[in-house]
Structure 1
């Protein structure tokens, strides 16, 4: 199996554009030459209230002793606004009851270089090795590329928060030691109190201002004692009390003086422009204020949101759509056509898949996955106030720096004139990486000359969703005489959702433009999760880019959602073909991956694995993702045509977790998200519109559909990995494998019981 030909003009692994980074042999040299003209160090740009002292970019302490931890990552329910403060508080020696959290301003010290590396890596950067990583790091830092996603928050910021806490502890100890005239090394902080071995004590607030005047030692000492440590404890989440009593502010909770409310219509999916609107009918609604028309959308503004949305319904906006309307049949046809175009690019390979024994058993199967909707609890929302001095915008965003830049461009203002208040999100799963609502709200506020809160309806949220990528796979495997997998071939037709997302949020492309531009891009981002963790001597993964016409976006798990489904479902088929028990079949190929093997044996023991015998209703799946390992066993069946999952057991090795309880929450959340992906979370499309948009009609799991969920965290001393996405990709293949034992049928499409 040789390298598949590529179409003329096809691009591979697009990341940074030419204006951002010179791609090619002279890229590193070009960056080195420009290095002298750029800052080599950055200062924290924190605002401090009276009585507050800023120690570094991540920490402030006030005179009362309250510890204010600065968090640059968007809280979407994953617990990051507790985890990062816990890391810092542990090194500082703080009292957990004194911890407060504040969102970070936009600045280079908060750039997520790790996600930037994953997202923007291309052929050149991988070839360049450390120089390529350095180039992406520099771009991310100098661009203040603040990003939340793909479980990178803890791996990226664990060390900086440890250092921030340790640095503050040293400075506070130095200030206390100076008052007591003792060596600072003899001082320590426990439970928020500075002491010199218990002889004398001071509260942190009493020495905070003095502490900031001292210098740090050349080598920063970290805490060594194992007693009174906050890391590893199941501390209560800091955001829970306000979410329980309703005082927690989400975007729709913002209230400003003289604020108006808006609803919006943006037409069908694709290149749609506004053609007509019945403004007379809209005026009949009590509270209606104004219709605002733009080329591609129309918004109604009223004294309350219900009136604004009702006015839009009566206005009955009509849009003209260019090109072929998006439809499920067209999406499926485009994916199949991608194979016929012979435009595949070999992105992963090991050995020689062609050099196999002639008497090997060959198994081939085809799989397909529909696009998966985000369906966050909180519909898209933003509030804006435009004044003489600039603009203020309140919104939840996973890319605040890019969002602020887009708002500034839309208003023709410098970025510094836009103040963006990053809020927590009521879910998001990647949808908050896009920020069009913030731009729309700012334009509406300028039009009205008063604050405006824009809230998309649930229908609008579904129509304009940027779902995960649809994909088709042609899998082939060869079994030797001993039942071992000797060869493996995966050919995947799929568009790249991450390439489209970057084009929209970084380069201002319209959704249909980004979709078309990315249609010829072959990239590892589109086949993530298909890099085999098993020791198969000869294997290859080829990506066939496809133009499905549906704008796609960042999602929980991204391409791992289909990658794991293809891989683990087919692995089960091979085990059945080899007449081997599914767990043993996997473990025999995991000699070089003991952590994943440990997860499999653990989940088998916990779940009472029966070997996947006929009628057991048990299924297995395993996956590796960004340094984290997971194995899942489910018990499932079909009752009166509906999928029922009575049990989910997961074993996870995610390294040394900061807060085990939150880690389990993250995995459980991912498992349920993956179950929704298996059961529904997808809609058919016809004539440029989803054919349904009511959540109750999407086949999503309810409490009665899900039984016991158990998550076991395997003890590990490895660095902590992000777990927010880990559970989502493995549930669907595990359920599909379980259904085979009860129905005798292979379910090779997602959703599993999809019509058509």
Structure 2
């Protein structure tokens, strides 16, 4: 457990109302709230604000607080700032932000609190949440929030710097700075043209205007364009350094083993046999794990096989049967209603049960971290989605203060929520402290599969009342672990196990239904669960959009027109639904093997059309078409890449990707065991981005939720068989 330092206020301390709570909030509000950038400038560089440095040679370094894990944030956010600044894209560089309050993801904190306390976030509540995130330097990349949380801040940073550069130029040429403008890395006024690099040092001495003089998005010629990604060249030529590439003088390599799930402890090992493996340096034991240090990772992992660690577990060992039993019991209990409108639904016309399993992350990069004790300081190189939380966790595990721990956030080789966990960083730090050597720790694939907090399993009972071809009542009870509470417990030492809105996020149908009731039935499955791409949306959309197809069939309506007639209150989603059949070739014929599904999430909207057929007991997907409205687009190529990736991810979750346990040990220990789709299985994919002037929405996870129900609906069309559980199997 990571305890709050005694001099800091915890989230729980702030989120209380009335009496002493009001006084506490008032006192907290009197704390100073001005923060200076904590950036380091190289020789010849000038820091203009927390997000921008300019060098004498004209290079423009954009400081990005969000972690790059393939979603293109190291391009899209610099693109926003460079557009406002008037920079030359060829001179843009990217630098990860240090941990600091100016880089807090306030939007994610707000959304997390809304999920837990939906009635809390009015004026004071929102302020308190933003202040907590800022003062705790809560830097987190998750929830498709990067553009939504930072677009305005990056626009402000670019516009402010542009004004400062114009002030410096105006003074130099004896002109009003407002008569100056910027373009392609120069401040221009008539025939006058001055380089950013020549002005930056002087510009830093001027007082910035408030508010900053914003341009219209895209006015700088960069935002909205398909500019080349800044992170790709180094990834293509292999020069990108991931945490596993870190090399330090005297570094040793570590592999680690943990026991089965449950209350497990190390019970013994044949440590002496480690000497049989050349290159072994040390064997280090912990109550929960055993690790070997060697001069190569292969030697360390081979030695673990040789010494054959043994573990003992108190209590029951979790397995697939216990998971099903826990979910069934929770579902039978009815759960706690978290959303209700319009009263009782009356006698339902149709009721159906659905289920999804535990699902793996299966990132190409397993957990990895390097650590080094440097004097009285500890340095950690780690792919983390939450650098400040990683620093706090490492400090707590090693007994150091956070001020003595430096975290270097590396690019992530696949995160999807898995890299918000701190297991490898903590273990690498402990190994470095105990061995007094720099250590590079990498988990094996089997270890990663065994210990990863997977996407939670869920079961749902959906009921609806039809009057003709209109849905007049809707009730959903969803049994699932309280994953967000679990995550908070692991990350900040405080969480809950009760009903939570996060577990049913996305379950509210987008259709105009007068009476709706949604309930969460928390299930304790004795297996850790965690964030996963699209999280609850990945199963709530499967439940909802599969059931909508069943209701359409029950009413005798075409599934497309059935949806369309009830989307009057969701015009942006309706527009997606209008476009996808046109570009995907919707026939509307029974037996055509076509299925459709829609979903709104992360401020964006999507409709997916799938074409699928039965091949024996297997499902073959031949085509996926998506129409999306994600608001104002920063980089259309990145949006398209993310949606295409999400569609493939969603297909993998629909057809494979399930994990199960037997006596606390995972049944799927390799990527092959997950039955993931191969390149030959990938369907034809078409993505259309609908032009929109709305604020940008999230896209990194948007492509996932609607895929599984679209495929299930296509199989129902092709075979007449309704599949209500994932993965989709006909046998």
TM-score by length of 1: 0.93
Note the C-alpha offset of 1:224: 4.5
Question: Over residues 315-365 of structure 1, what are the superposed CA-to-partner deviations in whole Å (9 max), with x where a residue is unaligned?
Answer: 1111111221111111001001113345x21111120124x4x7xx71111
> In structure 2, what is the equivalent of residue 265 of structure 1?
257
Question: Residues 692 and 32 (structure 1 numbering): CA distance in 2 closer, same or farther, change over 3 Å?
Answer: closer
What runs of 5+ residues in structure 2 fail to find an aligned partner?
A: 1-8
> In structure 2, what is the equivalent of residue 345 of structure 1?
336
Question: Over residues 150-190 of structure 1, what are the superposed CA-to-partner deviations in whole Å (9 max), with x where a residue is unaligned?
Answer: 10000000000000000000001111111100111111110
Question: Is the CA contact (8 Å cut-off) linking 1:670 and 1:727 kept in structure 2?
Answer: yes
1:575 counterpart = 2:556: no
> In structure 1, what is the equivalent of residue 563 of structure 2?
586
Q: Distance in 2 between matches of 1:220 and 1:580?
A: 53
> In structure 2, what is the equivalent of residue 545 of structure 1?
522
1:135 counterpart = 2:128: yes
Question: Residues 531 and 225 (structure 1 numbering): CA distance in 2 closer, same or farther, change over 3 Å?
Answer: closer
> In structure 1, what is the equivalent of residue 620 of structure 2?
644
DSSP 3-state at the match of 1:121: helix
Number of residues of Structure 1 aligned to a counterpart in Structure 2: 723
> In structure 1, what is the equivalent of residue 37 of structure 2?
44
> In structure 2, what is the equivalent of residue 61 of structure 1?
54
Question: Over residues 222-269 of structure 1, what are the superposed CA-to-partner deviations in whole Å (9 max), with x where a residue is unaligned?
Answer: 124965510000000000000000000111111111110000001111
Q: Which segment is superposed worse, 119-128 or 536-545?
A: 119-128
Note the C-alpha offset of 1:28: 5.9
> In structure 1, what is the equivalent of residue 104 of structure 2?
111
Q: Distance in 2 between matches of 1:308 and 1:625?
A: 44
Question: Residues 555 and 572 (structure 1 numbering): CA distance in 2 closer, same or farther, change over 3 Å?
Answer: same
**Alignment map for 1:193-272 (pairs within 5 Å):** 193-197=186-190, 199-224=191-216, 228-272=220-264
When the two chains are superposed, the root-mean-square deviation of aligned CA atoms in Å is 1.6
Note the C-alpha offset of 1:27: 7.3
Question: Over residues 474-517 of structure 1, what are the superposed CA-to-partner deviations in whole Å (9 max), with x where a residue is unaligned?
Answer: 1111111x22111111111111222211110111x8xxxxxxx7
Q: Distance in 1 between matches of 2:78 and 2:567?
A: 37
Q: Distance in 2 between matches of 1:500 and 1:700?
A: 28
Counterpart of 1:371 (choices 346, 355, 358) is: 358
DSSP 3-state at the match of 1:598: helix
**Alignment map for 1:681-696 (pairs within 5 Å):** 681-696=657-672
Q: Distance in 1 between matches of 2:12 and 2:513?
A: 41
Question: Is the CA contact (8 Å cut-off) linking 1:31 and 1:135 kept in structure 2?
Answer: no
**Alignment map for 1:644-663 (pairs within 5 Å):** 644-663=620-639
Q: Distance in 2 between matches of 1:569 and 1:121?
A: 27
Counterpart of 2:283 (choices 278, 291, 304) is: 291
Q: Which segment is superposed worse, 123-132 or 689-698?
A: 123-132
Q: Distance in 2 between matches of 1:226 and 1:414?
A: 45
Q: Distance in 1 between matches of 2:662 and 2:649?
A: 25
Q: Distance in 2 between matches of 1:629 and 1:210?
A: 45
1:527 counterpart = 2:514: no
> In structure 2, what is the equivalent of residue 502 of structure 1?
488
> In structure 1, what is the equivalent of residue 576 of structure 2?
599
DSSP 3-state at the match of 2:99: coil
DSSP 3-state at the match of 2:281: strand
Question: Over residues 393-413 of structure 1, what are the superposed CA-to-partner deviations in whole Å (9 max), with x where a residue is unaligned?
Answer: 000111110100111112211
> In structure 1, what is the equivalent of residue 476 of structure 2?
490
Question: Residues 605 and 227 (structure 1 numbering): CA distance in 2 closer, same or farther, change over 3 Å?
Answer: same
1:401 counterpart = 2:388: yes
Question: Residues 754 and 418 (structure 1 numbering): CA distance in 2 closer, same or farther, change over 3 Å?
Answer: farther
Q: Distance in 2 between matches of 1:446 and 1:23?
A: 39
Question: Residues 19 and 150 (structure 1 numbering): CA distance in 2 closer, same or farther, change over 3 Å?
Answer: closer
TM-score by length of 2: 0.97
Note the C-alpha offset of 1:25: 3.5
**Alignment map for 1:305-384 (pairs within 5 Å):** 305-342=297-334, 344-354=335-345, 356=346, 362-384=349-371
Counterpart of 1:176 (choices 165, 169, 175) is: 169
Q: Distance in 1 between matches of 2:13 and 2:303?
A: 44
Question: Over residues 23-79 of structure 1, what are the superposed CA-to-partner deviations in whole Å (9 max), with x where a residue is unaligned?
Answer: 234476134322255222111111111111101110001110100000111111000
1:149 counterpart = 2:142: yes
> In structure 2, what is the equivalent of residue 5 of structure 1?
none
DSSP 3-state at the match of 2:359: coil
Q: Which segment is superposed worse, 497-506 or 216-225?
A: 216-225
Question: Is the CA contact (8 Å cut-off) linking 2:358 and 2:660 kept in structure 1?
Answer: no
What runs of 5+ residues in structure 1 fail to find an aligned partner?
A: 1-15, 510-516
Note the C-alpha offset of 1:567: 0.4
Question: Residues 296 and 664 (structure 1 numbering): CA distance in 2 closer, same or farther, change over 3 Å?
Answer: same
1:433 counterpart = 2:410: no
Q: Distance in 2 between matches of 1:148 and 1:546?
A: 27
DSSP 3-state at the match of 1:454: strand
Counterpart of 2:531 (choices 536, 549, 554) is: 554
